[in-house]
Amino acid sequence: MKISCMAIDGYYVNMDFNDGGQVKENLDEIQNITVEVTCDSRTMEWIYSSVLDNGDVYTHTVTSANCLQNEEVPLNACSPTAITYLRDDPDFYVEPTDFGFTSTRIPDTTETISTMKISCMATDGNYVNMDFNEGYQAEDNLNMIQNITITVTCDSRNMNWIYTGPDPDTGGTIDFTVTTVECPQLPL
């Protein structure tokens, strides 16, 4: 048998059994929870069973189910618009675009880690470079390619978009804060 609980928009739901037994799905703060319980014909009891993150099996006898609706906690997230895209001369620069924005909650906080991709594509017969903050360059600039796509990450605790690229001084990597992006195109 399946047991479902659904919260209205702007809320998440918690399900408990017999005034205390929790379901693993409560950890996800989701709007809809559906669990399956099975009947043990030997004891005539309904049993909820789940595998915990550590691999242990959790079982709970179910005689009643209770659905509690909780208001969603607003999460702090970085904004894609915090990066300015420059295009001073349309004949020389192409328009950067961003896509694939996601935010993942940092456990036990209202903070998130956000990621997105930034891309620049040159017109036919040209290659593109990607420059940050009028100085630092994307690693692919050395390859004279028509399309450059990078991934940037932002921790909402400091609200800085970060590009991780090669460090020419050490040969390792360096985290670089990105506030502006511009993409000049040059003939092949």
Q: Report whether pLDDT(127) > 70.
A: yes
Average pLDDT of span 96-123 = 90
Q: What span, in angstroms and rounded, lies between the C-alpha atoms of 65 and 56?
A: 23
Report whether 130 contacts 136 (CB < 8 A). Answer: no
Q: Could you tell me which of 105, 74, 103 has the C-alpha nearest to residue 11?
A: 74
Q: What is the pLDDT of residue 83?
A: 94
**pLDDT tens-place string over residues 3-51:** 888 887 777 888 888 867 777 776 677 778 888 889 888 999 898 887 7
Q: What is the pTM of this model?
A: 0.63
Task: Quickly tell me which residue has 């036990």 as its tokens.
Answer: 108
Model pLDDT for residues 63-106, shown as the tens digit of each residue? 888 888 877 777 888 999 999 998 878 788 999 999 999 988 88
What phi and psi values does residue 80 have, to the nearest 5 degrees?
-60, -25
Which tokens sit at 93?
């620069």
Locate tokens 């703060």: which residue? 29
Q: Decide if pLDDT at 139 tops 80.
A: no
Dist. CA 146–CA 69, nearest whole Å: 51
**pLDDT at position 82, please?**
94
CA 130 to chain centre: 24
Residue with tokens 């069973």: 49
